[in-house]
Amino acid sequence: MEKKFIGWRVVVATGLLYALLGNFGLAAAQLAIPAMAVDPSVAMNRSMIGLGFTVFILMQGLPGPLIGKFIAKYGARKAFIASSLLIIATGVLMGLFAGASTVAYVVLFGVLLSFSCTLGGQIATQTTVGSWFVQKRGLAMAVTMGLGGLVAFAFPLVTNAAMGEAGNWHNGFYLISAMAVVALIIAFALMKDKPEDAGQVPDGALPVGAEAGATVRQAKSEQPASKVYKTTQ
């Protein structure tokens, strides 16, 4: 019996992972850090806050080649899992120590959280969608990004609710870890790196088996010539 194509399930999972891992950390930190800055026990000035965000943005791009190598060697699924684990640890550490000193804040938020979010962000997302779809790659990517954007609308509401009227910034950082736990479950339960891992092929258009080669040739002969060059590499 032919398996039902699970590529669209992977697209939904990837969109959620992109939102929870790639975007939630910064969204929550943008609310928790200002609350931390006005805490009398922290007394962080604007220069210190700006330094952390500057380092965060730099770390969104600098580790890109290393993250690309990691994904090429181990796959996007392991990148999502590693990102989840790192964010879980980093969120807890930020809740405990981010207000201890400027160095702790910059290292935890600017370096560790940024790197962890980037590991489970755009590169892993594009790699996954590109592996599962060829003909419908544009649509699949649009669904992934659209879903991630829709979910992100709830992030400020959830973060404000967790911090409460008192503006408990510790809870804001712990919430980052909680969301990463949800992402970890999704990555383990729903993610597959490529169709071959599930005995399928991109777009779910062709069966896998002894007659796959003949089916591919027949499908190619029946398809009209395309003016767009597409490579399998």
Residue 204 confidence (pLDDT): 84
**pTM of the shown model:** 0.86
Pair of tokens at residue 119: 């590991």
Report pLDDT for 210.
42
Q: Is residue 212 part of a domain?
A: yes
Residue 27: count other Cβ atoms within 10 Å of its Cβ: 18
- Gap between the Cα atoms of 98 and 120, Å rounded: 22
| Residue 2 belongs to a domain | no
134, with CB counted inside 10 A (0-12, 13-18, 19+), is: middle
Residue 44: predicted pLDDT: 81
Residue numbers of the chain with a pLDDT score lower than 50: 1, 208, 210-212, 214-216, 219-220
The pLDDT, as a whole number, for residue 230 is 66
Nearest-angstrom CA–CA distance, 12 and 30: 26
Answer yes or no: is 172 within a domain: yes
State the CATH number of the domain containing residue 90. 1.20.1250.20
Q: Which residues, in sequence order, are CB contacts of 57 under 8 Å at separation 6+?
A: 114
Structural domain range at position 171: 7-222
Residues constituting the chain: 233
Which alpha helices (DSSP H) does 38-168 contain, by range? Answer: 46-61, 64-74, 76-97, 102-105, 114-119, 122-132, 137-152, 155-163
Give me the pLDDT at residue 205, please. 72
Please state the domain count of the chain: 1
- How much of the chain is helix, strand and coil, in % rounded to 5? 75, 0, 25
**pLDDT for position 223:** 55
Is 227 within the bounds of a domain?
no
Q: Kindly state whether residue 35 falls inside one of the protein's structural domains.
A: yes
233 within domain boundaries: no
